[in-house]
Amino acid sequence: MNNLSEFLIRVSAFARKEVAGIIRQPRLVAILILGPFLILLIFGLGYTNQERTLNTIIVIPTGSTIEERITGFADRLRGVTLFDFVATETEADKRLDDREVDLVVVTPVDPLGDIRAGRHATLEFHHHEIDPLEQLYVSTLERAYIEAINREVLTVAADRGKSQAGSINEKVQDALTDAKALQLDLERGNGPAALRDLEALAEDMQVLTFALSDGLAAYEGVESLEDETNPDQPQSIFGNIAEVERLMASLALLDETQGSFAAEAEQAATIVAELTLIDLFLEEIQNLDSRVVARPFKGVVSNLSGVELGPIDFYVPGVIALLLQHISVSLAALAIVREMRGGSIELFRAAPISSFETLLGKSISYLVLTAILAAILTALVILGLTVPMLGSWTGYAVVILALLFTSLSLGFALSVVSRTDTQAVQYSMIVLLASIFFSGFFIALHRLAGSVQLVSWLLPATYGTFLLQDVMLRGLPVNPLVLIGLLLYGFILFAFSWWRLRHKMASV
């Protein structure tokens, strides 16, 4: 029998030994198969994805100039349950300290006075949250409410401007009448009458300019969205007014005794055209929705993957990577130290079997077993929880096998440095805890400092989570650099385990 055959026999013997040892423990097999799925199932059933509702007290100080508006607006707030209205901040904060409510909103006494003094009218949000995510939630509510209030103010302004558009339109009609009379008198060569028409037009324009600047600022802001660098875009309404005033100033210099007014008549025609544009703008205003004017932009989110992903779907790849890593590390971490404590290493030393054959045999057996567990877990997740698989099953299988190999190598590395079973178990738990916080499962990697991310990339689950999210949820091919990094890390750990095991077998 040649050396290769003997090598294969010894390796397969170890593989059969480990498989038989696990199969003889049906409770262990059941836990390995059903445990991960039950964790995912309970998490999926227990996660409600409902926004938290905060019991809220609103402080409306005595003498508030916006009490009616605040009480009316409060009924439309989302994410809070209105608990009470009080007049003093001290009373509200005391009830917050007593945990009677979750949030206190203090409104300003005289917001208009603050604004006129050059200060923002400030709403204060008081809370007692210590969880960073809950603090972020309160900050998100604050931004949403301030935006809603600002939008409400702009909507009121737009409504008033819209209601004034009709009366302003009458002033425009008066100005148009005088402008047309001015044009007609200039075409007829009647200089004195043209000057009288120009004087009447000047009075109309003075009233019109005041009315426009007072009532249509919000609509002027929408009109300002036009590209000012494009020469084909029409000027704004106040640009029309400025052009009319410029032409009127020029016409004011005409000599009523001159024989022809052709050039002046063209200027009068331009004034008529500008006033016509203002008239059309006012008609357009009366057909606009004030809320659209107050909030001209809105966002629309499109999922280009073609599949709507729920919160549970996002976490499943990370959970799969975490569970498979922990199972593999736990099994492998006890493999060598158990043999050392049981005295089997002495028998292996006397037998014609090397440390490499021992480690390879155990690796193959555990890789087969964990691959079967991974297949069962995947089937339960895809069929039971209906998690989408947008990518290639081949890519998924490659990632899973690479993750299992590296996790087993990490487990063997922990086993060869452990002196007792307890140490091996503790090392496995430390790896699990580190993986929860640093693998990207609980906190996205970009939120960790660069130096801390070095710890992340020492965990197989980090690679697994990154690759499985790409394959399962984004439908992307396997990232070759990340996959090579995972396999290279696994080979380094395997080589270290082999070196340490050979040293232990030689020193027994």
pLDDT digits (tens, 9 = 90+) for 43-90: 455 545 556 678 888 888 888 777 776 776 666 667 777 788 888 888
Largest CA distance in the chain: 131
C-alpha R_g of the chain: 39
318-356 pLDDT, tens digit each = 889 999 999 999 888 888 777 666 555 555 555 556 777
Q: Which two tokens stand for residue 504?
A: 């232990």
| Terminal-to-terminal C-alpha distance of the chain | 29
CB-based contacts of 344, cutoff 8 Å, min separation 6 = none
CA distances from 508 to 195, 246, 341, 498 (A): 119, 105, 12, 15
Please indicate, yes or no, whether residues 150 and 163 belong to a single structural domain of this protein.
no
pLDDT for residue 467: 94
Domain that holds residue 485: 312-507
Ranges 2-11, 114-123, 179-188, 459-468: which has the least confidence: 2-11
Instruction: Note whether 307 and 390 are within 8 A (CB).
Output: yes
Confidence class for position 227, pLDDT limits 50, 70, 90: very low
Instruction: Note whether 438 and 459 are within 8 A (CB).
Output: yes
pLDDT for residue 222: 47
pLDDT for residue 228: 46
285-317 pLDDT, tens digit each = 666 665 655 555 454 444 445 566 666 787 889
CA distances from 210 to 28, 206, 213 (A): 85, 6, 5
CATH of the domain at 107: 3.40.1710.10
Please indicate, yes or no, whether residues 409 and 337 belong to a single structural domain of this protein.
yes
Asked whether residue 299 is assigned to any structural domain, the reply reads no
pLDDT for residue 304: 44
Residue 475's region, left for phi above 0, alpha for psi from -120 to 50, else beta, is left
pLDDT mean across residues, the chain? 75
Please indicate, yes or no, whether residues 347 and 447 belong to a single structural domain of this protein.
yes
Instruction: Note whether 362 and 14 are within 8 A (CB).
Output: yes
Please indicate, yes or no, whether residues 342 and 426 belong to a single structural domain of this protein.
yes
191-213 pLDDT, tens digit each = 788 888 788 888 877 777 766 65
User: Does the pLDDT value for residue 487 go beyond 80?
Assistant: yes
Ranges 38-52, 215-229, 489-503: which has the least confidence: 215-229
Ranges 5-14, 255-264, 374-383, 493-502: which has the least confidence: 5-14
Q: What proportion of the chain, given as a percentage, has pLDDT over 90?
A: 13
CA distances from 405 to 239, 327, 411 (A): 72, 12, 10
User: What strands lie across the sheet with 103-106, from one edge to the other?
Assistant: 80-86, 54-59, 103-106, 124-126
| H or E stretch covering 416 | helix 393-416
Which of 154, 184, 202 marks a domain boundary?
A: 154
d(CA 360, CA 337): 16
Asked whether residue 22 is assigned to any structural domain, the reply reads no
Coil/strand/helix, residue 313: helix
pLDDT for residue 220: 52
Coil/strand/helix, residue 84: strand
130-145 pLDDT, tens digit each = 555 677 777 877 877 7
Please indicate, yes or no, whether residues 123 and 89 belong to a single structural domain of this protein.
yes
Coil/strand/helix, residue 359: helix
Which of 154, 184, 199 marks a domain boundary?
A: 154
Backbone angles phi and psi of 216, in degrees to 5: -125, 25
Average pLDDT over residues 175-183: 83
Coil/strand/helix, residue 125: strand
Ranges 204-208, 213-217, 400-404, 475-479: which has the least confidence: 213-217
Asked whether residue 360 is assigned to any structural domain, the reply reads yes
Please indicate, yes or no, whether residues 334 and 449 belong to a single structural domain of this protein.
yes
pLDDT for residue 389: 87
DSSP class of residue 188 equals H
d(CA 402, CA 484): 9
| H or E stretch covering 276 | helix 262-285
Residue 79's region, left for phi above 0, alpha for psi from -120 to 50, else beta, is left
* CA quadruple 130, 133, 134, 140: dihedral, nearest 10: 130
Please indicate, yes or no, whether residues 165 and 141 belong to a single structural domain of this protein.
no
Asked whether residue 41 is assigned to any structural domain, the reply reads no
359-389 pLDDT, tens digit each = 888 888 889 989 998 998 899 888 887 888 8
Burial of 289 (0-12, 13-18, 19+ CB in 10 A): exposed
pTM for the model: 0.58
Q: What proportion of the chain, given as a percentage, has pLDDT over 70?
A: 67
Please indicate, yes or no, whether residues 137 and 230 belong to a single structural domain of this protein.
no
Burial of 436 (0-12, 13-18, 19+ CB in 10 A): middle
The one-letter amino acid code at 140 reads T
Q: Which two tokens stand for residue 276?
A: 């016509």
Q: How many domains does the chain have?
A: 3
CATH of the domain at 258: 1.20.120.660
156-171 pLDDT, tens digit each = 655 665 566 656 677 7
Please indicate, yes or no, whether residues 378 and 475 belong to a single structural domain of this protein.
yes
Coil/strand/helix, residue 203: helix
Confidence class for position 234, pLDDT limits 50, 70, 90: very low
Asked whether residue 132 is assigned to any structural domain, the reply reads yes
Please indicate, yes or no, whether residues 392 and 493 belong to a single structural domain of this protein.
yes
Please indicate, yes or no, whether residues 196 and 212 belong to a single structural domain of this protein.
yes
Please indicate, yes or no, whether residues 148 and 168 belong to a single structural domain of this protein.
no
Asked whether residue 16 is assigned to any structural domain, the reply reads no
pLDDT for residue 269: 87
d(CA 102, CA 81): 10
d(CA 374, CA 400): 8
Which of 126, 154, 182 marks a domain boundary?
A: 154
User: Does the pLDDT value for residue 177 go beyond 60?
Assistant: yes
Q: Where are the beta strands (DSSP E) in 179-224?
A: none
